[in-house]
Every structure is written in structure tokens, then in C-alpha cells.
Structure 1
Amino acid sequence: MLSKDKFDLHAEHHRINRNSWLRASVMGANDGIVSVSSLMLGFIASNADNHTIVLAGLAGLVAGAMSMAAGEYVSVQSQKDTEQADLAQEANELKNNFDYERQELAAIYRERGLSEKLADQVATELMEHDALGAHARDELGLHEISRARPMQAAYSSAAAFSVGAGLPLVTALLLPQAWLFTGVIAMTLLALVILGSLAAWTGGASIVRGASRVLIWGALAMAATSLIGHFFGISV
């Protein structure tokens, strides 16, 4: 049995700690695989030459990675701005009406099941230790593991997109043009199954459901662009 001074508050590792980077990475890799594979399949179906197909895929990789990074950064930065505005408002309220804020915190603890006396004691001691931190967690619901991190989301998403988008590009470079259509489809479906399964396993969800979700949507995207390339494409 651990003594108080030896107790490790961070001994347990929970899956929620991965949420900040897992969501951006999975979304980025999935978008990279599906969008670039679909783009290339559209060109392949239009009977474009191999050079044009690879060039289209490379352009899709660069544009997509930058777009993912910018989109994630702007989105998560907006969330961070909101968090900071709420914290600034809470700090101002603590400065101007500290006792009322203590009562407000105690009321939250009473709603969670603590007795009135214990709720008052907990609120008082927590606010003596870190008043803003206590209100951030228990009134605003802001926790360190779920705080918005714009740059982390941006580079995780862009890097994952690039890795995913690189798979169909490598396939196009390695296979002869006669096998490209079948090869890109096979590689994409396999990559989506692996990605969906890995994301589900990492997040503690059903591997079958995780793989099925990305597989179905990826197949639909490839089918749509292939039909467009076949019926409306122009050989370059």
C-alpha cells in the first residue's frame, strides 16, 4: 500500500489523454488517403498519363496538408480564445466578488452530493490553494488534458495528412500504369482498414465498427471520383 507521500497521481494512463492529438491525426490521415487516392483515381479513369496522375497527387498532398493545418489551427485557436476569455472573466469576478464565487463553488459541490459543511470546506480550501484553477475545472469544465492546443492540432493533422496522401503517390510511382487503377484502390482500402482499426483500438472502441466506418466512406469517395473521371474526364 502506497503512503501519501509516495502516491503517484499520474500512475494511471487513460485514453482521454490522447484525444487532443488522436482526433487531428486520424482525421488528417483519413483525409490524406481518401482525398488524394480519389483525386488520382479520377485522373486514372480519364486516361491521363502517369506523369499527370503523379503530379495531381503531389499537388493534392501539398494543398491538402496546408489546408488541414490552417483549418485545424484556426478552429482550435478559436476554441482557445473562448477559453481564455472565460478565464479572464472568471479572474475578474474572483477579484471583485471573491466570497460570492466561493459560495458558487460550494453550491456546485453540494449538487454533486457533498454535505453543505463539507462543500463549504472543500470550496474554501481549494480557493485558498488556486481559486482560478478550481473555478476553471468545476465551473467552466476546463481541464488540462482537454485544453485547446492549436499548434499541436495543426502539425499533427498536416503530418498525418501527408503520410496518408503519400501512400497512393508511392503506389503510382511503383506500379505500371496498366495496374494503377486496381493498385490504388487496393492500397487505399487496405490503408483505411488499418487506420480505422488502429484508431478504434487506440481509443478503446470496436475495431470492426472503426474499420467499417472509414472503409465505407472511403469507397464511396473513390467510386464518385472514378465515375466523374470516366464520364467527364479529358485526357491530358
Structure 2
Amino acid sequence: MPKEGHYVTRTGWLRAAVLGANDGIVSTSSLLAGVLAAGMERPVVLLTGLAALVAGAFSMASGEYVSVAAQSDSESADLELERRALEEDPDYELDELTSGLVERGVSPPLARAAAREMTAHDALDAHAREELGLTETGAAAPMQAALASAAAFATGAALPLAGAALGPAGPAGVLPVAALSLAALGGLGLTGARLGGAPAGRAAARALLWGGAAMGATALVGRLFDVAV
């Protein structure tokens, strides 16, 4: 384990968590902004928000699981192809590994010696890393991604829902929902950037821009229809 504690080790769950939380905040706050701007009564608004939280969390979990599982299946298929190739033509695979090391700047004699040692140690792992770019750190983990995304979505969606529950009914309730959601999006952008080692200001600005646009658009739709019930 490198002493630096590289950020790449977090990408498996960080991407899913940030995506889930962002989607939970944006989709739920936008939906609530739309129904509040339309003048719907508080029970309907809260039920709408709760339904969005539950449905969204399960949708994110299933979507992440299916997509990451498909990636995992593809990685497994590539590894199986490589395993068969190593069994059927080990000399060609040794030449291929040597060529890859030479292309990365290793001198041919040293590359050949390194390729032999890597093959003797773990041929499949060597080809997975050098030829396919597959490592244990970056391996697809469907369940981890699904759980992280679902939990993050539910947490994110709970914030605008709390704003709708505590704020006034009707169009005036859009303001507390929007304020709480934008604050959460800014915090999410900063947190995600720091965990991933990226520029914090740029990440927060992106989150605020797209979240604000989504809430503004759905609030406008709600005002245009104005279907109070």
C-alpha cells in the first residue's frame, strides 16, 4: 500500500456516492419546486417528495448494479480470453508483454528480462495490468456501487424534503427548498472534490449551476400550469 494514500483507491465508491447524492438533491428538489410552484397542498407535496426519495434510491441502486455488473462481466471475459491465450501461445504473449514494456520506455533487454520475471510470478496478472489496464484497485464492484449510490441518493433527497416539510405551503415554499438544496449541492461539490483531490471551487460551481437550472426549470413549469388541488 503506497504511503501517499492515492485518491484513485476511492473511485469505486466515490463516483457512485457523489452521483447518487447529487441526483437525490437535484431530482427531488426540482420535483418539489415544481409541485410547490403549482400550488399543491402540503400532504401532496410531501407524499410526492417521499415517493421520489424511495423510487430514486432503488432506481439508482439498480442502475449502478446493472451497469457496474456489466463492466465486471466484460472484465471477466477479457481475463478469460487472456488466460486462454497464455495457455495456447505463451511465447507470443511473452513477446507482447515485452513489446508493451519497451513502448513504455524500458530497454529491450531489460524489458525481456522483466517480462520473463513477471510471467513467472503471475502471468495473468501481468497481462491484466500491462495489456488490459485492469488492477485490483480499479476492479468493478457492483454491490459496493449500488449500496453507495442508494444511500447517497436517499440522504441527498431527504434534505429538500425536509425543506418542504418545514417551509411554508404553496409557491412560497420553493425558496426554503431551493436554499437548502443549493447549500447541500455546494457542500457536496466541495466534499467530493476534497475526497478526490480535485479543485473544490470548480466542483462546487458545477453542482450549483446545474442544480439551480433544474430547480428553476421545474418551478417555471409548475407556475405555468398552476394546477392547485
Q: 2:24 is aligned with what amino acid? A: G
Deviation at 1:10, TM superposition (A): 3.3
Partner residue in 2 for 1:104: 96
Residue number in structure 2 paired with 1:231: 224
Cα distance in 2 between the residues matched to 1:231 and 1:18: 44
Q: Specify the alignment match of 2:16 in structure 1.
A: 24
CA shift digits 1:159-190 (9 cap, x unpaired): 10000000011222223326522110110111
Matched, 1:209 2:199: no
Cα deviation, 1:166-219, whole Å, max 9, x if unaligned, reads 001122222332652211011011111111111112212211111100101001
Deviations 1:87-127 (A, max 9, x none): 00000000111111111101111111112111111111111
Which residue among 97, 109, 113 is the counterpart of 2:105? 113
Q: Percent identity?
A: 51
The letter for the 2-side match of 1:13 is G
Q: Which amino acid aligns with 1:227?
A: L
Q: Distance in 2 between matches of 1:139 and 1:48?
A: 58
Gaps of 5+ in 2: none
Give per-residue Cα distances to partners, 1:2-49, cap 9 Å, x unaligned. xxxxxxx43220011111111110010000001001101111011111
Find the partner of 1:90 among 82, 85, 98.
Answer: 82
1:174 and 1:113 mapped to 2: Cα distance? 62
* Structure 2 equivalent of residue 218 of structure 1: 211
The equivalent of 1:149 in structure 2 is 141
Q: Which runs of 5+ in 1 are unaligned?
A: 1-8
CA RMSD for the aligned pairs?
A: 1.2
TM-score, normalisation: structure 1 = 0.93
Deviation at 1:233, TM superposition (A): 3.8
Q: Which amino acid aligns with 2:132?
A: L
Residue 69 of structure 1: aligned partner:
61
Match runs of 1:142-221 below 5 Å:
142-177=134-169, 179-221=172-214
Give distance in 2, aligned partners of 1:80 and 1:207.
Answer: 31
Q: Return the letter of the residue paired with 2:29.
A: S
TM-score by length of 2: 0.96
1:132 and 1:110 mapped to 2: Cα distance?
A: 19
Letter in 2 for 1:81: D
Distance in 2 of aligned mates of 1:174 and 1:222: 18
3-state SS in 1 of match to 2:140: coil
CA distance in 1 between counterparts of 2:102 and 2:202 reads 40
For 1:204 and 1:193, how far apart are their aligned partners in 2? 16
